[in-house]
Structures are given as C-alpha cells and as structure tokens.
Amino acid sequence: MRINKILPVALAVAATVCSGSVFAQEFTQEQIDAIVAKAVDKALAERQAKMDAAINKKADVIVEPQTTAQEPDKAIPYGLKFSGYARYGAHFQSGDQKYVGVDGSYNGASAIGRLGNEGNGGEFQLSKAFKGDNGAIWDVNVMFDHWGDEVNLKKAYAGVTNLLASNPNAYFWAGRDFHQRPQQGINDYFWMNHDGQGAGVKNFDIGGVQFDVAAVAAVESCSPAVLEDEANPSRITCTGGSNVGDKGNYAVTSKIHGMKVGPLDLEIYANYGFDSKAIESEDRQRAWQGGVVLSHTNDHGVNKVIARYSDNADNSVFNKTDDLTAIYASFEGNYKFSQQTQVEYLLAFHDYDNSTNKADNRRNYGAIIRPMHWWNDVHSTWLEAGYQRVDYDKGGDNHGWKLTLSQNISIAMGPEFRPMLRFYVTGGEVDNKRTARVNGTDDSTLDSFNVGAMWEAWF
C-alpha cells in the first residue's frame, strides 16, 4: 500500500526532471550565462541595499524635503563639522624686508601680491547642525583664530533656515560672526569688513532677488590699529584678546544679490555706521558707504568689476574719520587657456582724501598677474608679478615691485584646490622716496630676497 502511494509521486518527479532537462537543452550557452549573470547582479544589489540601510541608521539625514520648496541637499551631517583656513611655514629673509610692501599702502597687507609674501596663521571652526520637528534647520558655530600672539574667539553664533514656508531659504542668525567681508584673493584685501556681533537675515527672497540685512556692533578691544610699518592701516587688527561686549561702534549693513543685468551678475551693498553713548559725544560720528559688483562667468573663467564709495570711512563704517572720502575700484579675473594653464590678474585703484587733514592724502595704484601651469594633477608652477605705486598729494610717491616663483604640490588640478605645499623664492625692490623725505633720511631703497616653504589649506 505504501509502495502504491510513493510510486505516483516518484513518477511525477521523474517526469518533471526529464521535461526540465529537455527544456534546458533548448537554451544556448550564451542565454544560460545571461540568466546566471542577472541572478548574480540581483543578489549583489540586495546586499548593497542592506549595507546602505545600515549606514543611514548612523546619520541624522533628511532624506525627504519637508516642503515642496525645500532643496533635497539640506542634509544634516552626523556629529560635528570641522572647517577652517590656515597657512604655516618658514620664511627666510636675506634682504631689507621680510615681506615686500610699499609704505602707505592701504588696500590689503599684500597689495603688491600675496604669493610668497604672507605670514602665518589660521582660523578653525566647529559646527553642529540640528533639525527641529517642524523641519527647521539649525546650526551653531564657534571659531578661533591665530594670527598673532593672541588666540581670539572670532565666531560664536547660531542660525536657522527652512523656517518660513513662504521663504524656506532665508537664514536668520544672531551672535558673533565674520560679517560682510567680501575679499579679493590675489591681494588678500577685504574691501568691506564688518566683523562683529549682532543679528540679521541672509538670502531673503524678494521676487527672485536675494536680500541680506543686519545690525552689528564692533567688538570691544578690536580697533583699526595702524601697524608700525603702515602696511595695512585700513584693515581691522585686534591688538589684544577680543572682549565680550560692544565697543560702541555700530553698523546697519545690507546687500542685494542674485540679480542679472544681461549676461552680468549684479550685487549692491549699502551700509550705515553710527555710535552709541559709549563713545564720548565729541567723538561720535556717522558714516556710510555703498558698493557695486559686476561679474561675468563663461567657460574660460570669470571677470569682476568692483566699485566702492565711503563717506567718513574707508572699508568699514565702524571706523570713522571726519571729512574722509575713500574710493576703491578694481578689475580682477581668471582666464583658463586650458585646465592645465591659467592666469589670474588684478588692477586696483584706491583714493584716500581727507579734506581736513591733507597730509596723508594719497592714491594707490596696483597691478598683479599670476600665470599658473599644472604639469599633472599634483605638481604645478606659479609665477606672480606685482607692482604698486602710492602717490601722495604732498611729498612725492613711493613705489615698488615683487616677483615670486613657486613650485607647488596640491590635492588636485586648479587654483581653487587645497591643501597645498608651496616652495617659493621671492624678490623685489621698494623705493620709499616720500617716506625718506618726510623722515629726513637719505636711503629710501629697500631690496628683498626671501626663500620659504608653506602649507595652505581651506576645508
């Protein structure tokens, strides 16, 4: 009886095997290989999906937009984000000047060119992002810098975006921050600078145009000190550790950007400076400034025109000088002959005119050119040439030139890529005729020949 039950099952299995065998014989070997490959790909895909799912559990990431207007790239990184900028190295002086500079220059410490002509220091920042239950994206940022004997707290602020459904990209912030400091790279000049503490909003959309506005205060103990060699009298230089309070100098700053004028991108700046009663009444002043930036970008590079006018101030309305008017204008750009061969350039004009005290009235002319060639994606050679003239209304002028040859090792091909190791030699000559005449000395010529090695990184 048992045999009778098993026999039909055995016969059925045998028939199935035989029919499958016959069916398999109808496939070519190529078709069989394709079926096997497809099965392997499916198994690998399933394995990768499991691995990705495990990784995603370790990060707090927004995988879906909270609103239809929110961009998918608004993701929150897991843990702390470390970022900054730094450069450190050795700079051997064998001539009269350690860093080549013309007396009376006031559009950047490296107005004659910064390659192989800048000191050491760095800025190091930690940031932490959070996501609220309502979809708002928060971040808290702290930065310390090291540009002198003191280590200073330069940033300590919090901000939030994706807060308003009608304006999801608007970023509201409060605290201490680098504020409205547009910078030119080749001469390291902040043609506006309002670092301080306050509050404001950035990227507020008004009919397709982005609007920034803020009220900020200069930090106590941070003053526009003139360095002994007058290398950079218009840039804010902290002479001691930054305090926690306001100094008494305030500014309302604004910027309109994201505008097009034909093929050109347009930015407009407008700032107003005033003082509180923390400043003695006889010293309280007001200042204002406006600026325009026009830029054009194409496949071969970018060109930019900058124009700024300041009344009772120079590059910052925090720092006021009665009856001073200052005009700054420049043309700068980058041209790519190919990915391997590029050139950067800058022409700058700066007019400093004080109708009350005319002794230091002067016009500053500068030109810098930097051709660069990459031998491969690691090694490159840069040559930078700079010329500067400071023409005083009274007493003549000062002028000079600088030439730097630098051999570099970088992380990738292009002037924007860092970290970079730099090995350079810098030569130059400065003739400070006006300085010598004012000081009653005979020797006005300073020769420079310096050799150095430096690493530079932004991250």
Q: In the chain, where are the structural domains located?
A: 90-119+176-193+201-225+240-458
Would you say the C-alpha torsion 161, 294, 372, 95 has a positive or negative sign?
negative
Mean pLDDT taken over the chain: 85
Is residue 145 within 8 A of residue 151, CB to CB? The reply is: yes
- Extract long-range pairs of 20-29: CB within 8 Å, 24+ residues apart: none
Residue 444: predicted pLDDT? 87
CA dist 271 and 213 (Å) reads 9
Task: Report pLDDT digits (tens) over 353-367.
Answer: 999 989 889 999 999
The model's confidence at residue 12, banded by pLDDT at 50, 70 and 90, is very low
Q: Does 90-119+176-193+201-225+240-458 carry CATH code 3.20.20.110?
A: no
Burial (CB count within 10 angstroms: exposed 0-12, middle 13-18, buried 19+), residue 26: exposed
**Looking at the DSSP assignment, which residues form a beta bridge with residue 350?**
328, 364
Torsion of CA 3, 9, 12, 17, to 10 degrees: -100
Mean pLDDT across 170-190: 95
In this structure, the number of other CB atoms found within 10 A of the CB of residue 35 comes to: 10
Amino acid at 257: H
pLDDT band at 151 (very low <50, low <70, confident <90, very high): confident
**pLDDT band at 209; cut points 50, 70, 90:** very high
User: From CA 257, how far away is CA 112, in angstroms rounded?
Assistant: 30
pLDDT at 34: 66
Closest CA to 131 of 61, 80, 53, 81: 61
CA distance 388 to 364: 7
Cα–Cα distance between 421 and 70 in angstroms, integer? 40
Element spanning 426, H or E: strand 420-432
Helix (H) or strand (E) holding 37, with range, is helix 29-56
Contact 109, 147 (CB under 8 A): no
Pairwise pLDDT comparison (4 vs 365), residue with the higher score? 365
**Statement: the pTM of the whole predicted model exceeds 0.75:** yes
For residues 240 and 225, the answer to whether their CB atoms sit within 8 Å is no
